[in-house]
Chains A and B, each alone.
Chain A
């Protein structure tokens, strides 16, 4: 990782000039995180998926890992699709929805691509680590070099495969960088058990320098 601003700028411009157009990093209908999450979660675990969407991940985990599943989703259309998939889903707003769930009532709580859309992301993170023994969180890294370069060099709001929206229609209201998240985790005694990055469409273990290289990250976290 570059040590100073001059070096960083040179590096960013170099990457920008040598890059091809970003390609969609995910196959339609299935997210890169899902196979990883399937590896992480053991057979028979209880799993709460916050913002479960159409219930694809939970349905997969029920079928392959025989988990006890509970989804939470606010969008009515997605709720209906989850139910039609056979997934148990609780229609509520995540920003308040976990109040009253008992401590450690789930083995795993998943927050996939949802953190940045929450009104009160920190409260939800704290709640998920209370309700679950282990948290699995994935989010687009706003420190990704292309995001930085696009704003810096074009003066426009960055758009990438992970952040495909325009400034006026984005659901993402609380974007953070990998560094931001790690800083918060450190300050709250949250330990990172594992990390995975999406770099050039490939998934690999989290490495130093990923604050610039990783388009998206997935972290397995736990209160220490």
Chain B
């Protein structure tokens, strides 16, 4: 979701483990598999896709009984490179040379998601722009990029495609599925769509549906992109992409990842490189400079069309509607996995109350549940930044009876 090295830190974060560290999974290489070459992959919203490429990475070794699989679901702007260092940085993803995978703090030998014990797999979702088929991919029918001809994809589709990937790899059972933010939403969908395949699900900074406020933020982001003069109804691949609009969308989204408290602590009202204002509409305050920077680097590495599709997947997801005819308790009756739901106190993108409502629905469905609201001032980012409590929870989640 967020590049953790650019986020305000809580102070307990350790420096990244270099590839030769005993705590690092070392050098990694993305793997690719072709799915649905013969029969089309039908999509929830209608339509279908053929010849889907899925990019994924794995760490650790599969046990002989194939019972030690942990599936990591990544968030909005992340990719399948969850841990370790690229042996060869994939084309167009130069930022990856600067640090390890996005959840390296949690994944590795002796780390909370311990590669000495578990076979860990992370795959890039459908519709994104980091290796798995998405709107920038070539449409086999037209020979050009799909652009907006790409079908609408949903969280349900993502999970069904991941399940197909696991089928191909002969991994019928998942010991634990875990993710944060949109990754948490996928973890929940896994427990609902494939109750018999998932033993444990850990859902961080996510909820069964996005709030009206969340929908509103996404709507503004999409408008920023679609109103960029370079957008050309999504057909910009041969020309200049709508980086201005995408940058603005990201600036606004970035506000939703932080909290008022965290932003105040990091920037306050301080001016950027000056002691008094110049009275113009350029960058004056530090927070403006920071957001502009975040928008710029994001626009360089992300595909605007993917942004549209992914926010829509986020918008449409409603676990109660999908699995309980509108009744979340009914939906929860399907779940057979042990559930750990974790919210972060100052998260206003997936607010604690929504996560708690899900946990309560589990109780109402007659199931035991673990729900924690982690005290934090880091807003939505907390699921990546608060490494100490998240480590404790993940260690417990992979251990003994939990």
- A interface residues, Cβ below 8 angstroms from B: 62, 68-70, 76, 79-80, 83-84, 86-92, 100-102, 105
Contact = CB atoms under 8 A, between A and B. Distances in A.
B372 A92 contact: no
Contacts of B369: 70, 88, 90
B402 A83 contact: yes
B13 interface: no
Given A62-B401, A83-B370, A86-B401, A76 B375 contact: yes
Contact of A70 (B368, B393, B396, B400): B368
B363 A101 contact: yes
Contact of A76 (B372, B396, B402): B372
Contacts of B393: 80, 83
B44 to A, nearest CB: 30
B392 interface: yes
A84 B391 CA distance: 11
Q: Which of A68, A79, A90, A102 has the most CB of B within 10 A?
A: A90
B402 A86 contact: yes
B399 interface: yes
Contacts of A100: 360, 363-364
Interface string B384-400: 00000100110111011
A80 B368 contact: no
A102 B372 contact: no
Contacts of B397: 83
Contacts of A87: 402
Contact of B356 (A62, A88, A92, A105): A92
9 contacts: A62-B401, A70-B369, A83-B392, A84-B396, A84-B399, A86-B399, A86-B400, A90-B363, A90-B369
B372 A91 contact: yes
A69 B402 contact: no
B370 A80 contact: no
Given A91-B373, A102-B364, 17 more contacts: A69-B368, A76-B375, A80-B392, A80-B396, A84-B395, A86-B401, A88-B369, A89-B371, A89-B372, A90-B369, A90-B370, A92-B371, A100-B360, A100-B363, A100-B364, A102-B366, A105-B366
